Amino acid sequence: MISNLVISCNCRRFIHLQLFVACTMDETAVSESRTKIRQIVDSERFNNVVFVAILASSISIGFETYDWGDSGNKFLVYLDWFFMTIFVTEILFRIYAMRFDFFKDPWCVFDFLIVGIALFPSTGVFRVFRVFRVLRAFRLVSRIPELKLVAESLIFSVRGLTAVATLLSVVIYVFAVLSTVLFQNSGVEGELYFGTLGKSLFSLFQVMTLESWSNGIVRFLIEEEGWWVGFYFVIFIFMTTFTFLNMFVAIFTNTVVALEADSEEGINSEVRKIQSQLDVLVEEIQMLRMKLEEE
């Protein structure tokens, strides 16, 4: 009886050991497969294939705006699903390899949303989502480091750009009120361009963009009111076009430079960290060598 209990306990332990070994082997196999998939999705060849697929898909969506007949349209549909298969496979590979880290990367989430939107059916209320397939072209941004830098700079510049845009809006509003009071009764052109506050805002925006501001707007007002009108609009152009718009460029440029500096600093810090680890390893190797020589 006791021997049977001992045997049963030993069998149970043996089974538990076998299960533990099997689970460990499974985890090791999964880890190795994840590592291999990660090497594939991070490889330059794989990314080049996806880049070409994104570019070709964007071009094919443009072709869909034309009527190529039944056979041509059907071919474009099949071609679209071919590209979708590539994109879905890529996303699944990246999720499998990166796991939760995939959703921590903003660019990976961006790719996931763009591909997910295109999977909606093209009928009923979901038809509008199919139109957003053209957003696949924006996936090129996540594939080209220079474009990623520009996009990230634009995002980080939002706060500064918003402040400048607010101040610019105040300046345009002040000039719009002044222009409405000064020019709304200046003949037909004055009524046309500055008859109301809304018209003044639109006309001043046109002047700020330098779109036909001299021949289209100002010359008629000069004939009605005099040459001082020219100086009035030149002052407005200097305050908006030559000042505020250059401030937009300056803020964006400074952000690009700052991000490049941060990127280089991050690389340098990683290099220093690796160098310090190598120094520690060298010291440990020297200590082991000294102990071996003493023995």
pLDDT single digits (tens) 129-187: 666 667 767 777 777 777 778 888 888 888 888 888 999 999 999 999 999 999 888 88
pLDDT single digits (tens) 205-258: 999 988 878 777 888 888 888 889 889 999 999 999 888 888 888 888 888 888
Where exactly does CATH 1.10.287.70 map onto the chain?
158-259
- Does the domain at 158-259 match CATH 1.10.3720.10? Answer given as no
Give the predicted TM-score (pTM) of the model.
0.57
Which CATH number applies to 2-148: 1.10.490.10, 3.30.450.40, 3.40.50.300, 1.20.120.350?
A: 1.20.120.350
Maximum distance among all Cα pairs of the chain, rounded to whole angstroms: 121
Where exactly does CATH 1.20.120.350 map onto the chain?
2-148
Q: How far apart are CA 79 and CA 57, in angstroms?
A: 8
pLDDT single digits (tens) 263-282: 665 565 666 667 767 767 77
